[in-house]
Amino acid sequence: MVAKTENRFARAAALMFASTVGFGLMALAIKYAARSLPTAEIAFFRNAFGLLVLLPILLHGRSPLRTKQLPRYLLRSAIGVGSMLSGFWAIGHLPLSQAIALSYSTPLFVTIAAVVWLGEIVRNRRWAAILVGFAGVLVIVRPGTSGFTAGSLVALLGAVLSALVAIQIKQLSRIDHPDTIVFWTYVFWVPMSLLTALLSGWHAPPPATWGWLVATGFFGTIAQLLWTRALRMGDVSALQPISYMQLPMVALAGYFLFHEPVDRWTLIGAGVIFVANLYIAQRESRLSRANATSAPVEAAKPGE
């Protein structure tokens, strides 16, 4: 029994690591595409190519795709597009390490949103962890200093919107299968992001950019599917540290590929956020087991 449990966690850890690499590669593709295309257009192609990757996988798996929650999917997708636009803009215009580090503040906002939106009870120790996490955010953003940039607020907006998406996913998952959630999200994402791209001014992608656009859809979608499956197999608090390996990956890539300096304040702040998120994930995981419910997926991976 112990060997079976260890093997299951090893598989979950492998899936989470592969997902982390996938999200990192998507970030690099976005960074390259942002050199010649506006953010809204990158988001559209990420969704369009992502849907092309997703459909054969879902149809082959014969997952239940019907739902009675279309209005809620509409809201989830609209907020998700806002989160995507903010996050993609941050990746394209901020140093990669800073953009990814600030996205890790999502679980802090999720915990607050769960109190306001779902009426969940958060006790003193988790509130203390949230305050510690926000101290880490301040270390990265450094308001009132020469290191402050308004672009960091866009990254934080993406984290806030991602938190709202996480709450929506938590509600949707009470009724619908995970694959159903992913399918309907993409069905709404594609036309929403296309409309946004057209309204912001369409630019024909240069030939050299098409490969990066395809890569955003492919790596983003595969990483998302791997992440979901990893969380279904393993404990959030145990898997979360693996997802944070994305930060050193993109920091090194930013340094060698885009000549971005690695800011020590970003690394310090990210470390503080990591500790706070790890504690929150462990607490929520214990509560989930005590209540015989599933692990809290929203605490695991900031993002879309």
How far apart (Å, rounded) are the C-alpha atoms in residues 215 and 193?
Answer: 17
Identify the pLDDT of residue 108.
93
Identify the pLDDT of residue 298.
42
**Tens-of-pLDDT digits for all 304 residues of the chain?**
556 666 887 898 999 999 999 999 999 999 999 999 999 999 999 999 999 999 888 877 676 788 889 999 999 999 999 999 999 999 999 999 999 999 999 999 999 998 998 888 888 999 999 999 999 999 999 998 888 999 999 999 999 999 999 888 888 888 888 888 888 999 999 999 999 999 999 999 999 999 999 999 999 999 988 988 887 787 777 787 888 999 999 999 999 999 999 899 999 999 999 999 998 888 777 766 655 444 344 433 434 5
Going from N- to C-terminal start, the domains of the chain cover: 2-299
Q: Which ranges constitute the DSSP H helices of the chain?
A: 2-33, 39-61, 70-93, 96-103, 106-118, 124-141, 151-172, 178-199, 210-233, 236-243, 246-257, 264-290
Q: How far is CA 46 from CA 77, 86, 302, in A?
A: 14, 14, 18
Identify the pLDDT of residue 198.
97
Identify the pLDDT of residue 294.
43
Q: How far is CA 83 from CA 10, 39, 139, 234, 302, in A?
A: 31, 12, 22, 26, 11
Tokens 């809290």 belong to residue: 296
How far apart (Å, rounded) are the C-alpha atoms in residues 162 and 178?
Answer: 17
Q: How far is CA 196 from CA 38, 40, 136, 164, in A?
A: 11, 6, 33, 20
- Residues in CB range of 126: below 8 A, 6 or more apart: 111, 279, 280, 283
Identify the pLDDT of residue 303.
43
The residue among 282, 276, 281 whose CA lies nearest residue 135 is: 276
Report yes or no: 230 and 19 within 8 Å, Cβ to Cβ: yes
How far apart (Å, rounded) are the C-alpha atoms in residues 145 and 137?
Answer: 14
Identify the pLDDT of residue 104.
94
Q: What is the pTM of this model?
A: 0.91
Identify the pLDDT of residue 296.
41
